Amino acid sequence: MSFSSYKSIGAVVKEFQITYTEFDFIVETEFSISDYFREDLQTVMRDGVVDNSEFAICENLIYPLLKEVWKCYRSKFILWSHQSLTYDQNLSGFPEYILAKRSPLGKVVFDKPYLLLVEAKQDKFDEGWGQCLAEMVAAQQLNEEGDIIVFGIVSNGGIWQFGKLEANVFTRNSIFYTIQDLDKLFAAVNYIFQQCELQVGELVAA
């Protein structure tokens, strides 16, 4: 089964015996957005066609924002696009984006995944979360260290939803973020990246 075979959070929760909760765990962490990025995004959204396909949404809205934050964390992480992720025959596929630890062997080596992003195809967020949570379970298993918190994002480009998998508890952030409130959205994504960075630091210290 591929990740996309999971059509709801409930299906994943039941199969893998995960506890589902909702809580506002995000602590918005200010991020300085360049004037160039703001102007470029406004131009693309005003004059370009940004949502005519899944690829257009990823390329025009999701990836540019992730990349802008990733650049501040690139010494620790690689941002992978459509990279194969396989744990077993029931947990495999190609997440839209993965934030993974930078391998000491170089950027061509895929290392531990900390964050998965899934596009909510046709705005079906429940299906998106079913797929994303399955990917988070796979990432958790691949990481082997059970205490690593794996984060997830489901987005249709305009709306961004956040979750985390800690041990066998999945928490979805109650508050959604939108690309119209760019400062808050960046602050939320920055918080997730920061939490990933803190975990990498703790593992190195250990």
Domain enclosing residue 150, as ranges: 3-205
Whether the pLDDT of residue 206 is over 50: the answer is no
What is the pTM assigned to this prediction? 0.95
Q: What is the pLDDT of residue 89?
A: 87
Mean pLDDT across 22-28 = 97
| Residue range 134-152: mean pLDDT, rounded | 91
pLDDT of residue 147: 83
pLDDT per position as a tens digit, 114-134:
999 999 999 999 999 999 999
How many structural domains compose the chain?
1
Q: What percent of the chain has pLDDT over 70?
A: 96
If we measure between CA atoms, which residue out of 203, 187, 195 comes closest to residue 165?
195
CATH number at residue 23: 3.90.1570
**Helices (DSSP H) in the chain: which residue ranges?**
9-16, 35-47, 54-57, 63-70, 125-143, 182-205
57 band by pLDDT with thresholds 50, 70 and 90:
very high
Average pLDDT over residues 101-115: 95
CA–CA distance, 98 with 93 (Å, rounded to integer): 12
